[in-house]
Amino acid sequence: MKFSTKEDIEAPIDAVFDMLCDFEMFERAAMRRGAEVQRADSRSAPAPGIAWNAAFNMRGKRRQVEIEMITFEKPNEMVFECRSQGLMTLMSLELVALSRNRTRVMVILDIKPLNLSARLLVQSLKLAKTSLTKKYKLRVAEFARTLEERQRRSA
């Protein structure tokens, strides 16, 4: 099951990419929402192989997730592989410079079931795909506005 959307951000491509590489900010944001996040590698610079272990409560159950960056092409693309109980998700962030101060960010989420119970979950998600897609696009748009505001404050 695939979700994708794109947003234009009023900021140079290098600045947007650098903000997307601020992994500590994402870790703190997840922890504020109740997740436990721990780096699973010792790299200091963004590169393929950076990994995290995360745990969070969802629908009354504790979920464990392993996240690993599998592609890093500055300033155009990052791809993360997320594995949890029965699901494998690829999240791709693709950036395109529209002008010197405008960047298009494409966020693609591809969810693949690995077992029968995960297949049933994905099947139920497909029934709600329209509303989930709407929520997904709103969240990505909200995130893009946050990046834009961050760029304005630092400029």
Give the count of beta carbons closer than 10 Å to the beta carbon of residue 44.
Answer: 7
Please state the domain extents for the chain. 2-35+70-154
- pTM recorded for the entire structure: 0.90
CATH class, range 2-35+70-154: alpha beta
Q: What is the pLDDT of residues 18-73, one digit of tens each?
A: 999 999 999 999 999 999 999 999 888 899 999 999 999 987 889 999 999 999 99
User: Which residues, including other chains, have CB under 8 Å from residue 7's CB and lie 6 or more apart?
Assistant: 104, 105, 107, 140, 141, 143, 144
